[in-house]
Structure 1
Amino acid sequence: GEFLREHGYSRHLLAGLKRTPEAICRNGIWTRTGVPLKAGDRLDVLLPEEKPSEKIEPVPLPFTVVYEDEDILVADKPADMPVHPSPGNYGNTLANAAAAHARERGEACVFRCINRLDRDTTGLLVLAKHALSAAVLSDAMKRRAIRRTYLAVVQGRPEPEDGQIDAPIGRVPGSCLQRQVDFLRGERAVTHYRTLSADSLYSLVELHLDTGRTHQIRVHM
């Protein structure tokens, strides 16, 4: 078990393997997770087949696949496309497009989106195609081993041109969607920014986030 955890297998995934007959083989013989390994041992792990996300209807929508292999899919999400279905919009989302793409390839689609982007934001999203890649990438996100860069056009010119904003963000009272800086009840949010170019009205800034609060860039900038 320790060897598998060191190689990205989450406790949840290991628990599922323990319940699956012949899921773990050492040198061609079924074994348990607690059996010690020796130098030269060959370990084969059979990940269980997963049922597709039944609530996500495959809908062929335009989106660009930037990279894909047997473990992940990197999609360029267009603006005005939500990531997940929600009440009032069950068909025009990246999840629907990914499900249709998987169906065309003859693959099951269990939608596992590793990072998030707001509806109106365009950019790259990483989708894990199976439980192991999801566990590895989710752990990397928690450890901040995946660095994300954002570009935004903002009104005015930031002063100073480069800096850090450390201001907690919370809900606007009475709203489910709007956010604001809230030093009393908000959650900590940290944004690093660098001005790339500017004119008298607008600036192009590069941003890196230490946290991932809803609408963090819009609130801070």
Structure 2
Amino acid sequence: MASPENSYGLWTLVVLNSAIFIMFAFSFFKPNTTRDWRTFGAFSAFIVALFVEMYGFPLTIYLISGWLQTKFPGLDIFSHNSGHLWSTLMGDGGDPHFGTLHITSYVFLGYGFYLLSSSWNALYHAQRTKKLATTGPYGKIRHPQYVAFVMILLGFLLQWPTMLTLLMFPVLLLMYGRLSITEEKEMQAQFGDAYTQYAKKTPRFIPNF
């Protein structure tokens, strides 16, 4: 069996990948308010926790290593491919990077970053003119940026689930849900009836198909 150091302990990759995705999201989200920074900070914590286990220290693998070795006796549990736990648990013997879940995760990640970018663009132009954002993604749902963050997080969970990120995910969902309600109250106070009419016809998170 290959030693854990062959696939883990790569702290340079942890820092590099975390920095790339955090800065990539920052360039699209551009937090300004305290609420924005809270949203972005929670997202960043998830990303760091993910890459620490992906390349640094495989905590989840260690915690379930006994069960994994019993259920999959010939498995090199500390190889990088085995860290893709969904594929491992389903007994997929191929390269997980080409599996259905991995490809699906790219769809979530790609569209999530696209939605984050297009949402910020619509919001930026609305704020410049001191108007309510109702164009682009805001014409379909009231909180596209929060939806974008959730899609990105879900995409990563499809690739590399860990105990910590699986625990963090519902907490982040609750956090974003509460922040969206707070944001709506502020928009109601600022725009009055215009926001009331907008909210009546525009769903909060899931668009009308």
More strand by share: 1
Same fold, judged at TM 0.5 (above): no
| TM-score computed with the length of structure 2 as normaliser | 0.27
Q: Which has the higher contact order (CA 8 A, sep 6+)?
A: 2
Q: Which has the larger radius of gyration?
A: 1
Length-normalised TM-score, structure 1: 0.26
